[in-house]
Amino acid sequence: MLMDIGKIRRVQQTVETAQRITRYIYNHNWILSLMRKYAGGEILRPGVTRFATNFIALDSILEKRGALRQMFASSEWYDSRYSYAGTERSKIEDLVTRQPFWQQATTIVKAIKPLYEVLRAVDSEIYPLMGFLYHMMVKAKDQIMEADPAHGWSYINIIEQRWEAQMGTELHLAAYYLNLRFQYNIDGIGMDETLLDALRNVIYKMEHDPEKAALCLEEVIMI
């Protein structure tokens, strides 16, 4: 899922820019030392494979944004030989001191973070119950659209394709519907046709006697 999101062009370009900045810093020992002085630590470096790692790296460089901009505006930087060395230096300095890269990176991290948290929950040893997991994904999609209204659907489409194929089963939907915590706290869940259809199908698969299945469904809906 994250791998597919990482292939979206604007996401890919932003990760490549972050790679370019960190590669330049880490390829020069003096600049690396200066960065550590201003940032108080390391910047996680984006890789070329797992997008989960790249997401964490983007978040890391965002945390160091102020320190990096201070570094490139410092007298130490301007007095050094690196501030006059080559076109790559001027391009990196321009990327760090101007807004477009940071704005794009901020939007991407804010949009992807809700999904990342859900996937972390799935991978954790304490696996959330099916109903809670479905609720987490519903909430994550809402947060993604709120974080990036202009491009959120490009993420949502990927999520729905992957999620529905792997986790969006009728059993998950039924578990979500039957969770009393959501029944009493989310408006409209009791009459959601998608959830009701999933619940009906699950009940009729478990109870082959039509009369008993109908009675069970009636009792559940009346909760």
Q: d(Cα 132, Cα 172) in Å, to the nearest integer?
A: 9
The predicted structure's pLDDT at residue 10: 93
Domain boundaries, the chain: 2-107, 130-221
- The two structure tokens encoding residue 52: 């989960």
The predicted structure's pLDDT at residue 196: 82
- 14 and 108 Cβ atoms separated by less than 8 Å: yes
Q: d(Cα 169, Cα 176) in Å, to the nearest integer?
A: 11
- 31 and 82 Cβ atoms separated by less than 8 Å: yes
- 119 and 142 Cβ atoms separated by less than 8 Å: no
- 45 and 70 Cβ atoms separated by less than 8 Å: no
Query: Average pLDDT of each block of 10 consecutive residues along the chain (223 residues)?
Result: 89 92 92 94 72 84 94 91 77 87 95 89 65 81 94 92 70 78 67 80 83 80 61
Residue 208, CA atoms < 13 Å, CB-side half-sphere: 0
The predicted structure's pLDDT at residue 141: 92
Which H, E and C letters describe 52-66, residue by residue? HHHHHHHHHHHHCHH
User: E-assigned strands of 10-136?
Assistant: none
The predicted structure's pLDDT at residue 85: 67
Helices (H), 7-85: 9-26, 29-39, 51-63, 65-72, 75-78
The predicted structure's pLDDT at residue 66: 94
DSSP, collapsed to helix, strand or coil, labels residue 170 as helix
The predicted structure's pLDDT at residue 88: 78
- 39 and 12 Cβ atoms separated by less than 8 Å: no
